Amino acid sequence: MMKTHSNSLPLVSFNFVSFVGDFLQLTKFRLAMSVVFSSVAGYLLAVDQIDVSILLGLFFGGFAMVGASNAFNQWIEKDKDALMDRTKTRPLPTGRMSNFTALVIASLLTLLGIYILNNINFKTAIFGALSIFIYTCIYTPLKSVTPLSVFVGAFPGAIPFMLGWVAATGSFGLEPGVLFMIQFFWQFPHFWAIGWMMDDDYKKAGFKMLPTGNPDRVTAFQIVFYTFWTIIISILPFTQYSGTLTLSIGAVVALVLIGIYFLYHALKLMQKKSKKAARKLMYASIAYISLLQIIYVLDKWI
């Protein structure tokens, strides 16, 4: 605890540890780190020699980019967050952080992220800025209007994996397009599983996150459908129709195995239609995308 005092100014108290905790919650630190992981994986797929300066730029620029998006999101949705059990203890609904402070943090992170990514190359900065804009200005307001918000949100969510490739090459082509598609299709089963789990909570705030508006059989079918196509696209580089992005037979076998695990939990959700099954699918989806990126990188470098 730090305190300052003068004869003319009131006592001011500032808890640094508490502020750091609120900052990490405002920026969704763990989510930001998963995005950084995706960006680094995309970079490693594009290069034969590692440039540490670009890697550091992706790390800090990527964190700033995602942190800014999340901070703007919480600033806009502070009143709705107060209605949901999952989010009511965040810094803004509880009043631990002021709206002005959150807005300053979000704005500074935006400027910092774009500046760092622009030092890598201009296209990387453009994609980073586009990600923040779509997430904040289109996806966030659409969440309470239409389930199509998930489709819109899948665009900025799919940028990180391909961003690393663009950072390495300075261009967008077939290879980063494939990386984009993988993470784009993956987001539907992942976020619909979360939407299924949190359906009651989301409805308290008026969010429309599931494709049919309810956790029903049609929603479960769509989850299975997008899971299947995620798996198919993930092995596309084995066909040699993805430019310099290729996969060995061993990598394909590994991808099929984790894909079966992913699809199994999607099918179990369609069978049981329960929150417990949705939770298991959510964890399976996280394991799938993480292992996929690891398999891709190991297949290139080993």
pLDDT of residue 37: 95
- 258 burial (CB, 10 Å; 0-12 / 13-18 / 19+) is buried
Interval 207-262: pLDDT, tens: 999 999 999 999 999 999 999 999 999 999 999 889 999 999 999 999 999 999 99
pLDDT of residue 13: 57
**3-state helix/strand/coil string of 232-252:** HHHCHHHHCCCCCCCCCHHHH
User: Could you tell me if 227 and 258 are in contact, meaning their C-beta atoms sit under 8 angstroms apart?
Assistant: no
- 16 burial (CB, 10 Å; 0-12 / 13-18 / 19+) is exposed
Single-letter amino acid, residue 293:
Q
Measured distance CA(109)–CA(252) in Å, rounded: 38
Measured distance CA(241)–CA(258) in Å, rounded: 22
Measured distance CA(157)–CA(107) in Å, rounded: 20
pLDDT of residue 240: 81
pLDDT of residue 166: 97
Average pLDDT per consecutive 10 residues, the chain (302 residues; last block may be shorter):
48 76 96 94 96 95 96 96 95 96 97 97 96 96 94 96 96 95 97 96 94 95 98 94 94 98 98 97 98 97 92
pLDDT of residue 15: 83
DSSP letter, residue 12: E
pLDDT of residue 2: 47
Q: Cα–Cα–Cα angle for 54, 58, 61, nearest 5°? A: 120
Contacts (Cβ under 8 Å, ≥6 apart) of 270: 217, 220, 221, 223, 224
The terminus-to-terminus CA distance of the chain in angstroms comes to: 50
Q: What is the dihedral of CA 154, 83, 26, 37, to 10 degrees?
A: -30
User: Could you tell me if 262 and 288 are in contact, meaning their C-beta atoms sit under 8 angstroms apart?
Assistant: yes
Q: Which residues pair with 214 in a beta bridge?
A: none
Interval 53-84: pLDDT, tens: 999 999 999 999 999 999 999 999 999 999 99
Contacts (Cβ under 8 Å, ≥6 apart) of 172: 123, 127, 162, 166
Measured distance CA(294)–CA(298) in Å, rounded: 6
